[in-house]
Structure 1
Amino acid sequence: MLDGLATQVGPAMKPANVAAATSFSAALASVSQDAVSTLRDAEGLSLKALQGETETREVVDAVMSAEQTLQAAIAIRDKIVTAYLEVSRMAI
Structure 2
Amino acid sequence: MDLNLALASIRGFDRVGNSGAASGAAGGAAAPAAQTGPSFADALQNAAETTVGDLRNAEKLSMQALTGDADIREVTDAVMSAEQNLQAAIAIRDKIVTAFLEISRMQI
Q: Same fold (TM over 0.5)?
A: yes
Cα RMSD after superposing both structures: 1.3
TM-score (norm 1): 0.79
State the partner residue of 1:83.
Answer: 99
Where in structure 1 do 4 or more consecutive aligned residues deviate above 2 Å? none
* Distance across 1 between alignment mates of 2:50 and 2:75: 18
Matches within 5 A, 1:1-92: 17-20=32-35, 21-92=37-108
> How many residues are matched?
77
TM-score (norm 2): 0.68
Structure 1: state its 5+ residue gaps: 1-15
The percent identity for this pair of structures is: 61
State the partner residue of 1:9.
Answer: none
Cα offset, 1:23, TM superposition: 1.4
Q: Deviations over 1:6-51 (max 9, x none)?
A: xxxxxxxxxx922323211111111100110010000000000001
Structure 2: state its 5+ residue gaps: 1-30
Larger mean CA deviation between 20-29 and 38-47 belongs to: 20-29
